[in-house]
Structure 1
Amino acid sequence: MILSFSGVVFLGVIVTLLSRKCGLKLAHAMVCALFGFYLASTAIAPSIHAGSQSLAGLLGGLKF
């Protein structure tokens, strides 16, 4: 749960930065969000979740 919440906050910050700095329109961000909601209800959602968990584990294991 913490990973998904922090992921949502992180992606929200990225969308905000892109909308302010790179010209991402609010309509484009809304379409991306709707696409994500619809994608979450498809059969590929478990694969996406497993991939994001694997990436989070990889990034969490990095030592600087």
Structure 2
Amino acid sequence: MILSISGVVLLGIIVVLFCRKDGLKGTHAVVCGLFGFYLASTAIAPSIKAGGASLASLLGGIKF
């Protein structure tokens, strides 16, 4: 649960930065959000979630 909340916050910050710096329009951000919302209800959602968890564990295992 913490990973998904922090992921949402991180992606939200990235969207805000894109809106301010790179000229991403608000309508584009809304369309991307709706796409993600509808994608979450498809059959591919578990695979996306597993891929995200795998990437998070890979990045979490990197030692500096």
Q: Deviations over 1:18-55 (max 9, x none)?
A: 00000000000000000000000000000000000000
TM-score of the superposed pair, with normalisation by structure 1? 0.99
Q: Give the corresponding residue for 2:43.
A: 43
Number of matched pairs = 64
Identity in percent: 75
1:23-38 map, 5 Å: 23-38=23-38
**Runs of 4+ with deviation above 4 angstroms:** none
Q: SS in structure 1 opposite 2:43?
A: coil
Unmatched tracts of structure 2, length 5 or more: none
Unmatched tracts of structure 1, length 5 or more: none
In 1, the alpha carbon distance for the partners of 2:57 and 2:37 equals 24
AA aligned to 2:56 is A
TM-score of the superposed pair, with normalisation by structure 2? 0.99
